[in-house]
Amino acid sequence: MSEYEPQRIEAKWQNVWREQGAFRADRDPARPKYYLLEMLPYPSGTLHMGHMRNYTIGDAVARYKRMRGFNVLHPIGWDSFGLPAENAAIKNNIPPRQWTNSNIAQMKATCERFGFSYDWRREVSTCEPEYYRWNQWFFLRMLERGLAYRKKSKVNWCPQCQTVLANEQVVDGCCWRHETTQVEAKDIEQWFLRITAYSDALLDDMKELGEGWPERVLVMQRNWVGKSKGARVKFPVAKMEGKAIEVFTTRIDTIYGATAVILSPEHPLVPELIHGIPGSGAIEAQWNRLRQKILRPAELAKAEKEGIFTGRFAVNPFSGEMTPIWVANFVLADYGTGAVMCVPAHDQRDFEFAEKYRLPIKIVVQPLQGAALKKDQLNEAYTDYGRAVDSAKYSGLESAKAIEKMTADAEAKGIGKGETTYRLKDWGISRQRYWGTPIPVVYCEKCGIVPVPDDELPVKLPESVALTGEGQSPLAGVPEFVNASCPKCKGRARRETDTMDTFVDSSWYFYRYTDAHNDRAPFGAEEARYWFPIDQYIGGIEHAILHLIYSRFFAKVMHDLGLIEHREPVKRLFSQGMVQKGGRAMSKSHGNVVGADEMAQKYGCDTARMYTLFAAPPEKDLEWSEQGIEGCARFLNKVHRLVERYAEKLRGVEANPSAKIDLASATAKEKVLLRKAHQTLKRVTNDLEARWHFNSSVALIMELVNEIHAQEPLDEGARPEIAKRVLELLVLMLAPIVPHMSEELWETLGHSGGLGKVSWPAYREDLAKEEQFEVVIQINGRLRGKLLVDDGLTEDETRERALSEPRVTQLLKGHAILKTIVVPKKLVNIVVR
RNA sequence: GCCGGAGUGGCGGAACUGGCAGACGCGUUGGACUCAAAAUCCAAUGGUGCUUAGCAUCAUGAGGGUUCGACCCCCUCCUCCGGCACCA
């Protein structure tokens, strides 16, 4: 009898799989496909068990689906551009590519060591020109369609390094390298992708995702797009001919309660308004103070409301009233029109502002029910809908109706119009960094911005570049790169030196997997049509918004380019929980990392995989416990011993396949074994198929092992072909979870050729079925006895049996039975007085 | 503040459609095997009370409700986690 030696058998089977090409998947219209994807990892160096959880869940599903006969596409790749490689280069003087590739090699080795069933032929690394070439290609297509454009935008600037900082390089408002140097906001020209062109599509198409995506992700995305319907209304400025302030409001019905108009400090009209007003010098000084504070948006959210009166008035276009114009810090410049009407009675922020600056409060909406609001008793704004009052001819209308009518009237009179605004902003993709995809345009002295022609792609990132982290954009210091000729006029041109946000790389990578080596297109249409949409995507919740909204946006653009037929790339999304140690997420900086290689070394990867699936339901956070994983190691040893114990005797035996088992001729022990095995199979199948409760699947399999163990010795009272079948079922159920050990035990049981061609067993309802049921007897809902009844007992018979139980009769003495509830095969509840 | 999610033994967690709360694992305790240890195996293990082989009773964050019956459905509240946060 041989010992369970995980290291030996894991290496052995990994070799077999490699030689067989066991996990290669090719387009095969004759078979149903299943595209299973885990989020592309960033090659940061070593993998810890937090990373592995994601892949373990995916691999269990991939292996299960293969056993169910699906043609499973299960690929992986590397999100290999990005800042850490640059930082490592600065720190250790290693070229980013070298650092990145050595990390990839290391992580790939770990993945192979865990036996993940990837089709490695489809491996993609985003920092390779063969890949990023297509980022550039997509960019050019967007440029052609006006979906890529340039505008000025703020970046973080460290005056000491004289360089742009990524958000991650800003620590508490200071440069990461100069902790005392305040980061400044600097306006520079940058490239944007017009994701806002798809705002409504991103919202509307969520209907397709409702079934398969977690609700919280959809909610987050909906809030991120932030659609709100309202109206734009013009307030003409008094004594300034032709000047008006436009405000955006969702509550035009409260306009008769507007007691001020408030502009953002950055509103372009402010200087004009202040100019020529008595005391304008002092006002301007205050305004400048307000404007300075704008620079720090994190604090702004918590800051107290502050404002100044400009000295000017605007005319309320509905009431004709003169309304003071203020400038205040709480009005956002880049949302709506950058100006609001201030209705203290019906907006909480306006209420607070009005209280501080003693602006009048005017109630123009009363609740439909309950006591009427009184001005002097208002402690907070009344923001609900109700009925308009003191609103001229609109008085008496309910809010929704008033909004509709007033919007229409505003439009008719040319003083406003209905408008929908979004919080979603266009996607700024320019990064003043080296390790990323070069943006494929040149700036020609004569022709201006000129796209690099397709046949000159990729614009390759130069490889030997001195990275210091100081000075201008790294690529700007590489003359061979910067100096270009204009594709149009062949004159002198300067190449764009910014690179793309790495979220571009990860926005479409899963299409590339379907056709990873295509050098004529990002992917072939046929390949995408066969494999898409992704049947199951698995990843961390931290990508709920950015990655998952950008990739939806890309798919919509690709759809409009005619590259794909679907609108949504991902049918189902699963967000797994984090792995924690000591109550905190595993990370290098917390110093609580449990290394994947270390676990594979110590226990074997099957044990690590099993513990990962068993310790918590997959969507919940998992606290890593050394004792917990030891428990799993014990269990696998136990299974190994169990199978080994009978292997010798059973090897030559032809197992009786489940389909042919005849229950009538079975012994008592065989019935118990078969019943438990098929009950387990039924529930594990359901867990893997629909519920994804891998933790309870593992628990069920443990129960099965306990039952088999209780029935030992198996060679007494059970025929070998039945005993063998039960052990086979055990091994097959373990296959998605602990694939190496399952292969080994399958072989031990006398099978050759591996599990690759073996299907998931079908459970038989009649074998799983209990012959007897324990019926619980309750009196007034309290447990008072139990009854063992045969299958097929009628309701009346069950009731009779319960009532004639001695203990029950005893307890019922002196009580009148009001009624009896019988749930067949489950319980009898006798209600007495 | 708003929006989501969660709260069950000493711990991780189970309980499928409203029907025996605590499956399975960890830990703990006792025992077997052993010169001894490890490994393995066996048994016990929510609290309280009692006339203690058993029985009763309480118990799923708190309080209430619906129901013959509630971890599960409804209402109110508390705590924790996550997201958004002056979005007009």
Q: Closest nt to A341 (CA→C1')?
A: B88
Mean pLDDT of all residues in A4-29: 95
Q: Closest nt to A215 (CA→C1')?
A: B4
Question: Which positions on chain B have an atom < 7 Å from some protein CB?
Answer: 3-5, 11-16, 19-21, 23-27, 39-42, 56-57, 68-70, 82-88
Q: Is A199 helix (H, G, I), strand (E, B) or coil?
A: helix
**Distance, Å, A828 CA → B34 C1':** 52
**Distance, Å, A799 CA → B38 C1':** 55
Higher pLDDT, A164 or A4: A4
Task: Tell me which protein residue sits closest to nucleotide B68, measuring alpha carbon to C1'.
Answer: A831
Task: Tell me the pairing of strands A33-38 and A536-540.
Answer: parallel
The HSE-up count of residue A625 (CA atoms within 13 Å, CB side) is 13
Residue for token digits 């690394």? Answer: A125
Task: Tell me which protein residue sits closest to nucleotide B26, measuring alpha carbon to C1'.
Answer: A628
Residue at A485: amino acid letter: S
Beta partners for residue A538, in sequence order = A38, A574
Residue A370 has pLDDT above 90, yes or no: no
Per-residue confidence (pLDDT) for residue A571, from 0 to 100: 92
Q: Among A227-231, A284-288, A291-295, A738-742, which is the least confidently predicted range? A: A291-295
Per-residue confidence (pLDDT) for residue A168, from 0 to 100: 64
Per-residue confidence (pLDDT) for residue A301, from 0 to 100: 57
pLDDT in tens, A557-566: 999 999 999 9
Q: Which residues contact A714 (CB under 8 A, 6 or more apart)?
A: A646, A673, A708, A723, A726
| Cβ atoms of A763 and A674 closer than 8 Å | no
Q: Closest nt to A224 (CA→C1')?
A: B84
Give the distance, in angstroms, between the CA of residue A781 and the centroid of all CA atoms in the same chain. 45
**Distance, Å, A676 CA → B49 C1':** 39
Q: Closest nt to A330 (CA→C1')?
A: B86
| Cβ atoms of A459 and A495 closer than 8 Å | yes
Task: Tell me which protein residue sits closest to nucleotide B85, measuring alpha carbon to C1'.
Answer: A301
Q: Closest nt to A301 (CA→C1')?
A: B86
Residue A124 has pLDDT above 90, yes or no: yes
Residue A87 has pLDDT above 90, yes or no: no
Per-residue confidence (pLDDT) for residue A172, from 0 to 100: 66
Q: Among A13-27, A274-288, A347-361, which is the least confidently predicted range? A: A274-288
Q: Residue A363 CB: number of other CB atoms within 10 A?
A: 21
A380: confidence class by pLDDT, cuts 50, 70, 90: confident
**Distance, Å, A4 CA → B36 C1':** 26
Residue A658 has pLDDT above 80, yes or no: no
Range A733-764 burial, b when 16+ CB lie within 10 A, else e: bbbbbbbbbbbbbbbbbebeebbeebebbebb
**Distance, Å, A67 CA → B29 C1':** 44
| Residue A393 phi, psi dihedral angles, 5° rounding | -75, -10
Per-residue confidence (pLDDT) for residue A461, from 0 to 100: 96
Q: Compute the distance between CA of residue A250 and CA of residue A48 in angstroms, rounded to an integer.
A: 49
**Distance, Å, A646 CA → B39 C1':** 21
Helix (H) or strand (E) run with residue A246 in it:
strand A244-249
**Distance, Å, A172 CA → B65 C1':** 51
Angstrom CA distances, A57 to A38, A40, A539, A582, A608, stand at 9, 15, 10, 23, 12
**Distance, Å, A810 CA → B53 C1':** 22
Residue A641 has pLDDT above 60, yes or no: yes
Higher pLDDT, A175 or A564: A564
Beta partners for residue A340, in sequence order = A262
Per-residue confidence (pLDDT) for residue A279, from 0 to 100: 82
**Distance, Å, A663 CA → B43 C1':** 34
Q: Compute the distance between CA of residue A419 and CA of residue A199 in angstroms, rounded to an integer.
A: 14
**Distance, Å, A601 CA → B25 C1':** 22
Task: Tell me which protein residue sits closest to nucleotide B69, measuring alpha carbon to C1'.
Answer: A781
Shortest CA distance to A254 belongs to which of A391, A384, A404, A357?
A391
Mean pLDDT of all residues in A615-632: 91
**Distance, Å, A51 CA → B5 C1':** 23
Instruction: State the ipTM, two decimals.
Output: 0.94
Task: Tell me which protein residue sits closest to nucleotide B27, measuring alpha carbon to C1'.
Answer: A627
**Distance, Å, A781 CA → B25 C1':** 31
Q: What percent of chain A shows pLDDT beyond 70?
A: 97
Q: Closest nt to A699 (CA→C1')?
A: B24
**Distance, Å, A653 CA → B9 C1':** 46
Mean pLDDT of all residues in A454-468: 90
Per-residue confidence (pLDDT) for residue A803, from 0 to 100: 81
**Distance, Å, A190 CA → B74 C1':** 54
Q: Among A193-197, A340-344, A771-775, which is the least confidently predicted range? A: A771-775
Residue at A315: amino acid letter: V
**Distance, Å, A217 CA → B76 C1':** 29
**Distance, Å, A628 CA → B11 C1':** 10
Q: Closest nt to A329 (CA→C1')?
A: B86
Residue A707 has pLDDT above 90, yes or no: yes
Q: Closest nt to A773 (CA→C1')?
A: B20
Q: Quickly list DSSP for A672-697.
A: HHHHHHHHHHHHHHHIIIII--HHHH
pLDDT in tens, A607-620: 999 999 999 999 98
Q: Closest nt to A807 (CA→C1')?
A: B55
Per-residue confidence (pLDDT) for residue A505, from 0 to 100: 96
Q: Compute the distance between CA of residue A339 and CA of residue A615 in angstroms, rounded to an integer.
A: 53
Mean pLDDT of all residues in A22-41: 95
Residue A92 has pLDDT above 70, yes or no: yes
Range A94-124 burial, b when 16+ CB lie within 10 A, else e: ebbbebbbebbeebbebbebbbbbbbbebeb
* Mean pLDDT, chain A, whole residue set: 90
User: Which strand ranges, in their side-by-side order, compose the sheet holding A148-158?
Assistant: A163-165, A148-158, A184-193, A427-428
Say if pTM beats, i.e. exceeds, 0.80: yes
Q: Compute the distance between CA of residue A615 and CA of residue A50 in angstroms, rounded to an integer.
A: 13
A293: confidence class by pLDDT, cuts 50, 70, 90: low
Per-residue confidence (pLDDT) for residue A1, from 0 to 100: 64
Mean pLDDT of all residues in A642-668: 85
Q: Closest nt to A703 (CA→C1')?
A: B24
Task: Tell me which protein residue sits closest to nucleotide B5, measuring alpha carbon to C1'.
Answer: A216
pLDDT in tens, A566-575: 999 999 999 9
Per-residue confidence (pLDDT) for residue A302, from 0 to 100: 64
**Distance, Å, A603 CA → B23 C1':** 26
Q: Closest nt to A626 (CA→C1')?
A: B26
**Distance, Å, A495 CA → B83 C1':** 40
Per-residue confidence (pLDDT) for residue A387, from 0 to 100: 92
**Distance, Å, A563 CA → B84 C1':** 35
**Distance, Å, A91 CA → B77 C1':** 54
